[in-house]
Structure 1
Amino acid sequence: MLKKTLATLALGAALFAGPLLAADYEIDRKGQHAFINFKISHLGYSWLYGTFKDFSGTFSYDEKNPDASKVQVSIQTASVDTNHAERDKHLRSDDFLNVSEFPTATFESTAIKTTGSKSADITGNLTLNGVTKPVVIKATLVGEGSDPWGGYRAGFSGTTSFKLKDFDINKDLGPASQEVELTLSVEGVRQ
């Protein structure tokens, strides 16, 4: 009888422990609930905005231990879109993204440090234009919960910035346009 009770308790603990462990999420691209946008100064007079339309990724998130979370994103660089066909063609060239040689940019987290009740610094390796460098994404939990289709979702936003020359993008755009800001807004569906 004691063995049956212990076995039942162990099975119950295993079944109900799931929500306390890190959950894996896939970034929701099907419903277009995720965006990777960027902005860079245009000559110091205005902002040029753009987006990458084709990307995928996953993340794990543990509400009880957010520092144990992980993030992985893959971007198809040819999907760059600034709402101007000639500029996009130039951005795809070897002056900038060099998409023929490096069609994919990636980010993979290496450490996450909680900075507040809903914020964290996500350190990771960004690979762009064939160069890998560490960057820090300032991330915020937007929210999490059940969706109307029987799934469970979590959403985050984050920003980082880096110098173009750090990724061997050496086209001189003038002193006001040396750095780009990247903004990610992702909603993941728990798997």
Structure 2
Amino acid sequence: MTKSDQEIGEVVAVLRGAVPQRDIAERMTNRGFKWTQGTVSSVEKGERSLKLTEGAVLAEILGTDVQSLIADEEAARLERDFRAGQTALTDARQEIQRATRKFIAAQGYLRRIRSSLSEDELALLDGDLRADPVEIAAREKERSQDAILGSDQMINDGMAEYITVPPRLGRRLRPKSLEGTPERRLL
């Protein structure tokens, strides 16, 4: 099935997500194409066709492949959302790792100064000094899972308040909803 310039432009806009058109134009210019923000806008509106060489570089800049540029808009949205979720998980894991290191370092500091604290201060710290970051994380995970499972609206909204679309896009998807019909297949 042949895609129109407008359909390809709509997919480019979806895959671009929150990345400014100016940034895409700058990256294309850095790769040897004379693109401006207006060029990106024209491509997204379907007013300008993409040359194959431009499409290959643009797809690379968007973190995908040329086939994604000719996929339908819904498939592009699913791909973008999937990559956003991957990025959010990676960021959250890194935050947990940093927080755990800080927690353990703070415990070590408190243990070192323990001898200079009053009985009242020691009583306040006792629980913190015995706390295990793994147990804290497990309790928080359980609370979070209960909140997520109990909130269909948050799931249906794609957890939009927690996930931002990354500028670099990653792996391709083949959503089950699009597998059935050959003309809508991503691969």
Common fold, TM-score beyond 0.5? no
Relative to total residues, which structure has the larger helix share, 1 or 2? 2
Q: Max radius of gyration: which structure?
A: 2
> TM-score, structure 2 length as denominator?
0.21
Relative to total residues, which structure has the larger strand share, 1 or 2? 1
> TM-score, structure 1 length as denominator?
0.21
